[in-house]
Each structure stands twice: as C-alpha cells, then as structure tokens.
Structure 1
Amino acid sequence: MEERVVLSNKGVGNILQFLTDVKYLLKGKVLVANVLPVFTAYWLSLYFAGERFRDHISLFLLTMIGSTLVISGALIINNWYEVDLDRKMVRTQKRPTVTGHFSMRAVLWAGIMTTILGLVTMLATTLEATVYSLLGWFVYVVLYTFWSKRKYTLNTVIGSISGAFTPLIGWAAVQPADHIVPIVLFAILFIWQVPHTMAVAIKRFDDYQAASVPMLPVVAGMDTAIRQNLLYIICLLPIPFFLFHLFGPILVIVSSLLTVGWIFLAAKGFSTKNLEKWAQMNLIYSLNYLVWLSFTMILLTV
C-alpha cells in the first residue's frame, strides 16, 4: 500500500515537473503578453466589421490556437538556440534546456512542429493573418534570435517589430488590416516593447553582462539606458489620439494617465539608489499598461 502511494506521488511529481518545464520553455509571461494583443485586435476587428462575437466562435478558436502555437514555436526555438547564454544567466537556470529535463533535439523538433501546426491552423482563418504570423515568427527567430541579439544593441528594437505583428494577426483574421486601429496598435506594441525589455535588461544587468549579450545598459551604461527608456515611453503619449474619432475621449484619457504615470516612474531612474527595484517596478507597470489599455478598448466596444 505504501509503495503504491509513493509511486502515485512520484507520478504526480513528474507531471508537475513537466508542466513547470513547459512553462519555462514557453516563457509564460512573454507568451501571455503576446497573445493578449491578438485577442484585443480580434475583438475590435469584429466590432468595426459590424459582426457579433458569438457568430464567429470557431474563427476565434482557430485564431487564438494558431497564433499561440506560432508564438510558442518561436519561443521554443529561441530557448533551443540560446541554451549557451541561458547557462550563464541566473534567471534562466530553471529552463529545461539548461537543467537537461528536455533533450536539445526534442526541444528543436517541438519548436519546428509547433510552428508548422500553428501556421497550418492560421491558414484556416485568412491568408493575411497567416502571413503576419509568419513574419512575426521570422523576425523573432531569424532576425532577432539568430542574427542580432548577440551582435547589436538594436536587438531590442528588432525584437519589438516581431511583437508588434500580434494585433495585425488578430485583426486580419476577420478583415484586412488596412485600418487605422491595427496600425495604431502596431505602433503602440512596437514602442511599448522597448521600455518593457529595457526594464528586464536593467534588472538583469549582471546576467546579460556575464553572458556577453550586448544589451544597451551593458554596452552604453545605465544612464543611456534610462534615458532611452524614458524617451520611448514619452513617444507613447500622442499615439492613442489617432483613435479619438473612433473611441472618444475615454481611451485618450486612460492612455494618457497610464503613460504620464509611467513617465514619472521612468524619470525616477536618474535618482534612484536601487536600480534593480526600480526596474522591477517599471516591468510590472509596463505589463499593467498593456492590460489596462487593452481592457479599456474592449470595454468601449462591448
């Protein structure tokens, strides 16, 4: 009887360990932050097309499943390729590529097959949405992971282009993305990701320095990174005004308050004595900015 209990507990433990490994492999928070704009843009696209959400449940599921798989495939391949860097960084020590819980061959094939399955699923939506999915994957995997991350401080900007495709995917699953809303969302996501990533780079400065990754704080110093961080956040301020005629003053007010609050927080970086804590606060604020901006746009179109 005791042996059965031990075996049962071991089985549960193995399952939990597997799920934990998958979470680290997919960079859980990164995956969610990329899928949220897909949903937001999909919802908004239905609204401006005059369609009802309940009439397109199957399209919604295909879009969310397909985009999630493509994004997951890109993240898995990123983990596979960067295992040598991850071994040198404290924050990545629990990834299964580092611990050896998953073989490198299995991880590579998982990334390839997940990507293919995601793109095939996206083909069941629209060709345009599939192209945006492929472009986002290509920029993240080829231009960011394989080419620029180990060579240039501009890797952050290049990576941001990849994430900015996510609202185009959601919108184009319903109708062509030649509309002011997905274009503005693309711009917001592109700019937003730079200070979001900069907060990670400042918080994990020692890690990136140990791994010789040319992030801006490592190459140009903290003052330059803090200044660039602030400038990008300021650039967010006017963009939602382009949607005033569609969403009215509430969106502009909410987005402006969110951005001004972030500007004040970012400016404190010049005087703070604890950069790691300040960077963590910026990281949390950036995620809240994205969630609340998306939530506001959805509420205004319910």
Structure 2
Amino acid sequence: MNKEQTLSQSSSRVTYKELQQIIKMGLVQGNLIPAFAGSWLAIVLANHSFLSSIPQIIMMLLGSTLIMGGACALNNYYDQDIDSIMPSKQKRPTVNDRISDRNLLILSFGMMLIGEALLFALNIPSGVIGLLGIVGYVSFYSIWAKRHTVWNTVIGSFPGAVPPLIGWTAIEGHLSVTAIALFLVVFCWQPVHFYALAIKRQDEYSLANIPMLPSVKGFNRTRVSMFIWLVFLLPLPLLFRDLGITFMILATLLNLGWLYMGLTSFKKGTDNTKWATKMFIYSLNYLVVFFVLTVIVSLIEMF
C-alpha cells in the first residue's frame, strides 16, 4: 500500500463496526455485567430504592463504558507494532491505517476524561477506583507486564477486576466484604479465561515475542496454573453469605463443573486446542451465569 492510499484510508470516516474494534466493545460489554451486578447487590443488600438509584446506575455504566473503551483504545495505540505481526489482528483499524494516531489518542483520552468525570460526579471512591483501573491496565499491564513477564495475565487481572467495585461504590460510596468477594471472583476468573485463549493463539504470541505463559512455559505448565486458579475460585461462594445458602450451592456447583473440565486436560491423548476452546467457552458462560445468579437469587431473597 502506497502513502497516498494510506492517507486516503486514514482520512475516511471510521465505521461503527471499526469503532467497536478500537474500543474492544466485546470486552467492555463483558465487564459491564459484573459492574451492574455490583451496583444491584449494593442496592438490594443495603436496602436502597432501585427506582431512585437508576440515575446512579446509568451514570456508572456510562462512565465505566467510557473509561474501559478509552483504555482499550490506548492499548490498541500502544500495541500497533505487535498487532501488525499477529494474523488475528490484521483487521483492526489501528493495523490497517483506518484511523490516524492523532484521532486514536483524541478518542482514547476524550473517552477516559468524560468517563472519569461521570464517576467522580457520583462519588470520589468510584472515580478513584476507575482511575486505578485505567493506570493499572494501561501502565502496569499494557506497557510493562504484557511484554516483559509471564505474569502479565495475572497482573492484568487486577485492573480487569475493578468493574464490580465501581458498581458497588457508585451506590454505597464505600467497599464491603461482598464487593471484595465480587472482585476476587473476577480476578480468579481472568487467568483461566485468558490462558485458554493464549493456548489457542500460542503461535501468534510467539511470533510477536509476547511472553504469554503457554508460549514460554508450554501447555503442561499452563494447565497446572489454570487448575490452581480454579481451586482458588472454589471457596469464594462462601463469601456471599448475604445471598443465602441457595446461591452458595449453585455457585459452588458452577465452580465444580469448571474444575472437572480443568481436570480432563490431564487425560492421555487430550487435544490441547479443543480442550482450551471448551475452557474458553465455559469461562464466557461462567461469568454471565454467575452474575445473573447474583441478581436472580437476590431478587428471590427480597420477596
């Protein structure tokens, strides 16, 4: 592609579909589920009025969407060099010159500033937690950990687990045991989810020289690490005593199902890629089912 073609593509308007790729809308939407669950549980467990809390929920969801989307856009800006090497990233607007660096940075910082303004308008704790999430994701994960250590996924799990904290503090203005429990669930969920994805894309990460655990340590070490995180996840439902015994039992069964699936990788003749795909799909369903359960069970408890 010559320079004139590149300039012509960059100057044309970015489509909505391309914008979704830039801000990683799929990832953002996934994180809005625990964010909403955090706010919902704060309303139910602290006996707030749902109707009077709707403006706070809307501001929290909008602010969270903006800071996460802005941080993801900045991540795409910084990762252009490695994304251009990885085959699965070739359709990203940041790789095929569909958006200029200048416009990308304006979009990123604009979204994060507006998002933070909304969260701080709710209360200081929500704004501070949102800011910590941005700094953790962009600086500690994207710029440093992702390219320098096999612990990158675990380090990235800290900022990735802040959405339920934002949701809770948006309503309550302070943290609680339940809010921390939600954080721990998302934190322990992430390594298993992203290691499964990294196994599927092991060759790509090796090509881009990104030290993901499967690329550096291999499948055997990765499946052991995934199993350990599943074990950490197992007792966490006990922290949700306020939701009652029914929730604790259902959440534990959900964890046991995932733990069993993790154990199947130790069978002889296991197809690594197929197993990783099943683990990845289970992880997607796990996040939705777990947080939907928190909403449904809390509703039942109300009546």
TM-score above 0.5, yes or no: yes
Distance 1:225 1:55 in 2: 47
**Deviation by residue 1:252-283 (Cα, 9 ceiling, x = unmatched):** 11111111111111122233543222212111
**Deviation by residue 1:122-149 (Cα, 9 ceiling, x = unmatched):** 1111110010000011100000011111
Q: Which residue among 216, 225, 230 is the counterpart of 2:227?
A: 230
Q: Which residue among 256, 260, 263 is the counterpart of 1:260?
A: 256
1:55-204 correspondence runs (5 A)? 55-204=52-201
**Deviation by residue 1:9-67 (Cα, 9 ceiling, x = unmatched):** xxxxx98x712211211223211121111100001111122112111221111111011
2:4 maps to which residue? none
Distance 2:244 2:117 in 1: 38
Per the alignment, in what secondary structure is the counterpart of residue 96 of structure 1?
coil
Percent of pairs with identical residues: 34
1:42 maps to which residue? 39
Distance 1:114 1:80 in 2: 14
Distance 1:83 1:69 in 2: 21
**Deviation by residue 1:230-273 (Cα, 9 ceiling, x = unmatched):** 110111110111212x1112111111111111111112223354
2:238 maps to which residue? 241
Is 1:269 paired with 2:237? Answer: no
One-letter amino acid of the structure 1 residue matched with residue 271 of structure 2? N
Contact persistence 2:43–2:49 (CA under 8 A): yes
**Deviation by residue 1:90-111 (Cα, 9 ceiling, x = unmatched):** 2211110011111122112211
Contact persistence 2:219–2:272 (CA under 8 A): no
Aligned residues: 287
2:6 maps to which residue? none
One-letter amino acid of the structure 2 residue matched with residue 164 of structure 1? A
Distance 2:103 2:201 in 1: 29
Contact persistence 1:168–1:177 (CA under 8 A): no
Contact persistence 2:25–2:69 (CA under 8 A): no
Per the alignment, in what secondary structure is the counterpart of residue 43 of structure 2?
helix
- With the length of structure 1 as denominator, give the TM-score of the two structures: 0.92
Distance 1:66 1:57 in 2: 14
Q: Which residue among 243, 246, 251 is the counterpart of 1:250?
A: 246
One-letter amino acid of the structure 1 residue matched with residue 248 of structure 2? V
Distance 1:273 1:93 in 2: 31
Distance 1:266 1:230 in 2: 6
One-letter amino acid of the structure 1 residue matched with residue 249 of structure 2? I
Contact persistence 1:177–1:183 (CA under 8 A): no
| Greater than 4 Å deviation, 4+ residue runs | none
- With the length of structure 2 as denominator, give the TM-score of the two structures: 0.91
Distance 1:136 1:261 in 2: 30
Q: How far apart are 1:177 and its partner, in Å?
A: 3.3
1:8 maps to which residue? none
Distance 2:35 2:19 in 1: 22
Per the alignment, in what secondary structure is the counterpart of residue 15 of structure 2?
helix
Q: How far apart are 1:294 and its partner, in Å?
A: 0.4
2:8 maps to which residue? none
